[in-house]
Amino acid sequence: MTSFRISSKLIQAAILCCGVCSMAFSQSFLTELQSEHNPIKRSNMALTFANSAFENAHDFYGKGEFDQGDAQLENMTKALNECVASLAIARKARLYKKAEMNVADLQRRMQGLLDDIQLQRRGWAEQTARRLDEIHDKLLEGVMRK
């Protein structure tokens, strides 16, 4: 009985550690992202981070770790919002187009992810898909405005 309790506590500690490390990584990356003064570099960094966060989310969902997958999708959304804000500062149409194409690819991949997730577990992923649509629309506005 005691060995069961010890292993249970170890598992709980490991899960907590993974969650904290994931949050710390996202916070440190967002801080690093915001500390970049060049908006062009910042937007490219944000796109790279968003793609990485999506891949991580896909892996977590595949393992059945939905909370970590949801957190990675939230990180992806934050990075894409930072990308849009950086592009507004940079004011270069070609950068909007690059980001728009990248987000369109993420939308396609997101639809594939939604197809793989059970209907009852899709809540956050569906909300993220809607947020991706909004971000994509903002980027299209930027492309058309220039």
pLDDT averaged over every residue in the chain? 80
Q: Provide the whole-model pTM.
A: 0.74
pLDDT in tens, 60-106: 988 888 889 889 999 999 999 999 989 988 887 788 889 999 999 99
Alpha-carbon distance of 21 to 84, in angstroms, equals 26
Chain-centre distance for alpha carbon 74: 5
Average pLDDT on 7-25 reads 49
Alpha-carbon distance of 3 to 145, in angstroms, equals 64
